[in-house]
Structure 1
Amino acid sequence: MEARLARRIRLFCDSGQVRPEVAAFVAAELVALSGEGRQVTEDSAGMLTSHLLMALTRLLDGAPAAECGAAVAAELADHPEALASARAVAVRAGRELGARLPDSEIHFLALHLAVLHAGPSLRRDAS
Structure 2
Amino acid sequence: MEDRLALRIQLFRESGQAPQQVTRFVEEELTALAAEGHTVTEETAGMLTSHLVMALTRLLNGEPIEQFLTDEEVAAELAGHPDAVERARAVSFRAEKELGASLPDSEINFLAMHLAVLRKNTVRRDAS
Residue identity matched to 1:28? E
**CA distance, structure 1, for counterparts of residue 68 and residue 78 of structure 2:** 12
* Residues 1:47 and 2:79 aligned together: no
- Give the TM-score, by structure 2 length: 0.90
- Root-mean-square deviation (CA, aligned residues, Å) is 1.5
Q: Determine if contact 1:115/1:122 at 8 Å carries over to the other structure.
A: no
**Runs of 4+, deviation exceeding 4 Å:** 120-123
Q: How does 1:1-127 map to 2 (within 5 A)?
A: 1-71=1-71, 72-120=74-122
Per the TM alignment, residue 70 of structure 1 is displaced from its structure 2 partner at its CA by: 2.7
Instruction: Answer with 5-14 or 62-71: which moved more.
Output: 62-71
Q: Deviations over 1:52-76 (max 9, x none)?
A: 0000000111111232333233321
Q: Deviations over 1:9-43 (max 9, x none)?
A: 00011000000000000000000000000000000
**CA distance, structure 1, for counterparts of residue 100 and residue 116 of structure 2:** 25
Q: Tell me the matched-pair count.
A: 123
Q: What 5-or-longer segments of structure 1 have no aligned partner?
A: none
**CA distance, structure 2, for counterparts of residue 57 and residue 11 of structure 1:** 14
Per the TM alignment, residue 50 of structure 1 is displaced from its structure 2 partner at its CA by: 0.1
Q: Determine if contact 1:83/1:110 at 8 Å carries over to the other structure.
A: yes
Residue identity matched to 1:113? L
Structure 1 residues 83 and 49: CA distance shift in structure 2, 3 A: same
Residue identity matched to 1:63? E
Q: What 5-or-longer segments of structure 2 have no aligned partner?
A: none
Instruction: Answer with 104-113 or 62-71: which moved more.
Output: 62-71
SS at match of 2:22: helix
Per the TM alignment, residue 115 of structure 1 is displaced from its structure 2 partner at its CA by: 0.9
Q: Deviations over 1:81-123 (max 9, x none)?
A: 1000000000110111010111111000000000112235679
SS at match of 1:70: coil
- Give the TM-score, by structure 1 length: 0.91
